[in-house]
Chain A
Amino acid sequence: MNVEDAYREHWTRLLASLAAEFGLDTAEEALGEAYARACEHWPEQPPGNPAGWLRTVARRAALDRLRRAGVAARKLPLLAEGEPQAGPVGIADDRLRLMFTCCHPALALPVRIGLTLRYVTGLPTRTVARLFLVGEATMAQRLTRARRKITEAGIGYRVPEGPQLPERLAGVLHVVYLVFTEGYRPGGDTALATEGVRLARLVRELMPGEPETAALLALVMLQHARRDARRDARRAGGGEVLLPDQDRTRWHTGEIEEALGLLERAGMGRYALEARIAAAHATAARAHDTDWDLIAALYARLEEITGSAMVRLNRAVAVAEASGPAAGLGLLEGLELPGQAMLPAVRAELTARLGELAAADVLYAAALELSGEEHQRAWLLTRRALNAARRSAGGS
């Protein structure tokens, strides 16, 4: 095995297990040292057990560092020769611990995302930097600062217990979902969305007893399954193809099947409801086969849990599809989403469907006023032009 393969296959696991023992800061530096030594020695003397070799060398390097830093010998971990390899269970626990550390709420949200991408998924610093649109040196500095805070503030490497667990798990899932949505959004980086799915799968494997881990994996898989149908380079404004216009034969049906299976054990939490909505779309053979009554009911439950105005807006769209535009508009009465173009845009669509074309034109203008995203502007301009054409063709 060459060093590059050993990096891809073992780095994240080794880092997690070393971090549990020595702390993230020392672990990363020691592991870097071990890989540097591997580059020197392996071409001449390839090891029989690459992971074991790296682990032993990294642990020695970590102990050296701690001794040099003046940590009392009595407090150092034991270093026994021929020390037994941690079994898969131990490694899984270490990775889970590291995940909770990286997603600790005492760290700023972008920092949590950066740490998770670097240390849990093992993306190189330069890749994380590119995804954050900063230089590699800047990102390296941010990660160093974050590691220092973890050490100095005493953020532990442990999976929270009891009443803390649900809240902290929600925090971890939130980070994973943000990684995915940042890659999934129009103009986002597909590689990041793929990392989001990988992370969701990892959390699912590490915490199989938690229904929301199944729900989140199902949710991101259902959305990701549409990736090939969502982009069309020939279209204006980022090439975004909206759901009703997508070529459903280009959806990845195998992934949809797997996600539907996950939903059987996913409960009825926040992510489960969102996944069930995505599933309702994914299982409709054609756009007009969509079960909008079901989707409207799921959004109503989601609104109860989250109290979110954005969820109310989505619910209104579903209700409009199920029961007509007037019912949808009724749900939007009194709703406020300051600065968001989506609200006047949806009002414009539903008002136009009612045949009130002049009123719709005013709403399209209001939406365009607020819209900054290129693909959204392009879509709004098209819809407004269509509305104008209807008006001159003899509408109101």
Chain B
Amino acid sequence: MTPRIGKGREAVKYLLMIYAADQTWAEADEATREQAYAAHEAFGRMLAERGAMIGGEELAPAASATTVRATPGGFVLTDGPYAETAEQLGGYYLVEAAGLDEALDYAKALPAHIVEVRPIAG
């Protein structure tokens, strides 16, 4: 059997970006939050056991963001995230997968409603 060299064969890194409405999280009660953290812990353990976990963090609400733009006149700071959308980036996982299908399986297993899957360039 000839070795395959298509990129799908080798391990690729993917960033799984979790999008959610900040408000939903802010308004969640204690039990809901605990449940969510437990689900993320289980997800992280699953990734680690498979050797797929590289890293991941929860982000503070998007309202705490500051956007910095370099312009000819100097740096312009904006209070808030780069794009004002209903759902904001709320956290991420950096994973290693054999290909997109595996990365998509992780995204589906994630306790989140919207996940953007982006390969790391390389």
Contacts and interface: CB of A to CB of B under 8 A. Distances in A.
Interface of A: 19-23, 66, 71, 75-78, 104, 106, 151-158, 160, 164
A154 B97 contact: yes
A71 B3 CA distance: 13
B101 A23 contact: no
B5 A23 contact: yes
B12 interface: yes
- Which 10 A-B pairs have CB atoms at the shortest separation, nearest pair first? A156-B8, A156-B99, A154-B12, A154-B99, A23-B6, A154-B100, A77-B2, A155-B100, A153-B100, A154-B8
A154 B103 contact: yes
B113 interface: no
Contact of A154 (B2, B3, B4, B119): B119
Given A106-B100, A106-B104, A160-B101, A20 B4 contact: yes
Contacts, number: 61
Nearest to A71: B5
Contacts of B6: 19-23, 151, 156-157
Nearest to A75: B5
B5 A66 contact: yes
- Determine chain B's interface SS by DSSP, over half rule: mixed
B121 interface: yes
Contact of A77 (B4, B97, B98, B99): B4
19 contacts: A20-B4, A20-B6, A22-B6, A23-B6, A66-B5, A71-B5, A76-B5, A104-B100, A151-B6, A152-B7, A152-B119, A153-B119, A154-B8, A154-B98, A156-B8, A156-B99, A157-B6, A160-B101, A164-B101
Given A106-B104, A160-B101, A164-B101, A154 B7 contact: yes
B9 interface: yes
A23 B2 contact: no
A20 B1 CA distance: 12
Contacts of A75: 3, 5
Contacts of B101: 155-156, 160, 164
A78 B3 contact: yes
A21 B100 contact: no
A21 B121 CA distance: 21
Contact of A156 (B5, B100, B119, B121): B100
A77 B5 contact: yes
Interface in B1-35: 2-9, 12, 14
Nearest to A62: B5
Interface string B63-89: 000000000000000000000000000
Interface in B91-122: 97-101, 103-104, 117, 119, 121
A154 B10 CA distance: 9
Contacts of A104: 100
B23 to A, nearest CB: 30
A160 B8 CA distance: 13
A366 to B, nearest CB: 36
